[in-house]
Amino acid sequence: MVRSLVYAANWKLHHGPAAARDFVARFAELTEPREGRELWFFPTAIAIAAVADGFRRRADVRVGAQNVHWEPKGAFTGELSVPLVAEAGATHVLVGHSERRHIFGETVEQSARKTVAVLAAGLTALVCVGETLAEREAGRTEDAVRRQLDLVLEVVATADRSRLLIAYEPVWAIGTGRNATPADAAQVHRFIRSRVEGRGWTDRLRVLYGGSVNAGNALAILAEPDVDGVLVGGASLNPEGWAEIVGLGG
């Protein structure tokens, strides 16, 4: 059986609609669908429609939002709801990215509410968890991950479980050029998966790794059987570089 891998691009605050269209046109020239490979893009909210439209003939591509509010509508100036991003073409949503947690103060409870809203609307949620450098150095990696993960696992309805994925993103590795070793990542991935054991999950929980993945280290990370894909920021911004990375592994 071909191993199924997800390659997820998080564009953060880069690429408006025009740049996104250029990216899609070039990336589509450089790649074609491959069995066992899913390509996920999380553009800026304003570019979701352009990316979804540009890839409409690519069954291997999914487009998502980087963040949503949990309420479907109301007086929440500046926010985007799940129905709104879905209308723009998003089928996936990133939840609890460390930049949301650490820069914008998103709490574990808020991440859990967002996850429920995303899944209840039929979309797929990629929930990010990971420890800070201080937590890793204090030997508290598993405590930190457990704290972010358990509430999410508790609130997910059984019927929605197959649409929940976790991204293990050590905070000290994001945008720093410093990645977790493949073995360290795999160990945390196994810990994450162990949290669903005993909760009656039958589907395999898919866990992606994120944190300074690039063309030089992606293959070694993806070679770990406990790694189901990668979530990539900086190295996903350029179509040639991203096409090279998604051509690795599998």
Q: What are the residue numbers of the active site?
A: 97, 169
- Binding-site member from 43, 234, 239, 249 for ligand PEP (CB under 6 A): 234
Least Cβ distance, residue 167 to ligand PEP (angstroms): 7
Contact between 62 and 52 (Cβ < 8 Å): no
- Return the range that interacts with ligand PEP (CB under 6 A); candidates 17-25, 79-87, 106-114, 227-235: 227-235
Report the alpha-carbon distance of residue 182 to residue 128 in Å, rounded. 18
Q: Is 64 in the site for ligand PEP (CB under 6 A)?
A: no
Site pattern 115..154 for ligand PEP (x: CB under 6 A): ----------------------------------------
What Å distances lie between residue 48 and 84, 97, 187, 235, CA to CA? Answer: 11, 18, 34, 19
State both tokens at 169: 């993103």
Report the alpha-carbon distance of residue 204 to residue 19 in Å, rounded. 36
Q: Is 213 in the site for ligand PEP (CB under 6 A)?
A: yes
Helix (H, G, I), strand (E, B) or coil at 38: strand
Kindly tell me which of 102 and 199 has the beta carbon lying closer to ligand PEP. Answer: 102
Q: Is 216 in the site for ligand PEP (CB under 6 A)?
A: no
Radius of gyration of the chain from its Cα atoms, rounded to whole angstroms: 17
Bridge partners, residue 7, by sequence: 39, 230
Torsion of CA 205, 211, 217, 218, to 10 degrees: 40
The one-letter code for the residue type at 136 is: R
Residues 6+ apart with CB under 8 A from 134: none
Q: Is 96 in the site for ligand PEP (CB under 6 A)?
A: no
- Binding-site member from 233, 239, 242, 245 for ligand PEP (CB under 6 A): 233
Q: Is 169 in the site for ligand PEP (CB under 6 A)?
A: yes
Query: Do β-strands 37-42 and 61-65 pair in parallel, antiparallel, or remain unpaired?
Result: parallel
Least Cβ distance, residue 170 to ligand PEP (angstroms): 9
Give the CA count within 13 Å in the CB-facing half-sphere of 13.
2
Contact between 108 and 148 (Cβ < 8 Å): yes
Kindly tell me which of 182 and 234 has the beta carbon lying closer to ligand PEP. Answer: 234
What Å distances lie between residue 4 and 48, 159, 207, CA to CA? Answer: 25, 22, 12
Site pattern 173..212 for ligand PEP (x: CB under 6 A): -xx----------------------------------xxx
- Return the range that interacts with ligand PEP (CB under 6 A); candidates 77-85, 137-145, 155-163, 231-239: 231-239
Least Cβ distance, residue 138 to ligand PEP (angstroms): 22
Least Cβ distance, residue 160 to ligand PEP (angstroms): 23
**Total binding residues toward ligand PEP, as defined by CB under 6 A:** 14
Summarize as ranges the residues that interact with ligand PEP (CB under 6 A): 10, 12, 169, 174-175, 210-213, 231-235
